[in-house]
Amino acid sequence: MTSEAFDGAMEVLESQPDRLEGYYEAFLSVFPVGGAAVSTVGEVLGSETLAASDALAARLDELQFDLGEGPCWDAMRAAQPVLVPEIRSGASARWPAFAESAVRDGVASLFAFPLGVGPVRFGAVDLYSVHPVHLSGAQARQAGALAQVVSRHVLRRALNAIGAEEGEAVTAFSRRIVHQASGVVLAQLDLSADDARLVIQGQAFATSRPMMEVAQDIIDGRLRFVRDGSRIEVAE
């Protein structure tokens, strides 16, 4: 698939943060897969399918939620892509119950890309094919880049929903201390100002602390973020 297709998908995805169908359409327009689903996984945002291209994509998500195993769990926990071009070869050892069900449903290949902002990990994008397919290294990197955009959209939606109920999460951005802390995170990680603020907000949400407290810890040097390859972690 051409780089033009990826560039076009990225442009559309970035411009439509509230259109859930666009989250999976971006992947389907670029990669040779049959379906896709975007889900939150685990304790941070709960386990829920946000968008699925078809019934099988939704079923694969539900199976993973019910069984507590599968590529979306591994991708989310490790903050790394999970690439399984041939599910019949070895997947049963990793996910015995899920792999058996997926094969029975006719799935041949599965790929999962983590959703997360900074050290906050909260979901995955799952791609499947009923025919064996392989993603090249370049394609995997492109899918990871699309997943990062989806990550920001998903976390903002979750935080804005809380703000609509409690009037707290979004307005916290206007506070001077948060602005100052965003500058610190920006310098640490070489992010945009918006993404630096989102890292702070995601950390506050994940640890059930006010943004003001997290921001003060950052300014005082008690909390620092570092890059670990493609991931962002809290420094020990």
Q: What is the CATH number of the domain that holds 217?
A: 1.10.10
Can you give the residue range of the structural domain that contains 22?
3-160
Domain end position, chosen among 126, 160, 194: 160
Asked if residue 224 and residue 121 are part of one domain, the reply reads no
Query: Which segments of the chain have a pLDDT < 50?
Result: 1, 164-174
186 and 152: one domain?
Answer: no
| pLDDT (0 to 100) of residue 201 | 85
* Rounded distance between C-alpha atoms, residue 45 and residue 143, angstroms: 22
Final residue of a structural domain among 126, 144, 160: 160
Alpha-carbon distance of 185 to 224, in angstroms, equals 8
214 and 106, same structural domain? Answer: no
- What are 4-12's contacts with CB under 8 Å, separation 24+? 5/29, 5/30, 6/30, 6/142, 6/146, 9/146, 10/145, 10/146, 10/149
64 with 180, same domain? no
Q: At what angle do helices 137-166 and 20-28 cross, to 10 degrees?
A: 180
Quote the pLDDT of residue 2: 65
- What pLDDT score does 166 carry? 44
Report the sign of the C-alpha dihedral through residues 64, 69, 73, 74, in that order.
Answer: negative
Structurally, the chain folds into a number of domains equal to 2
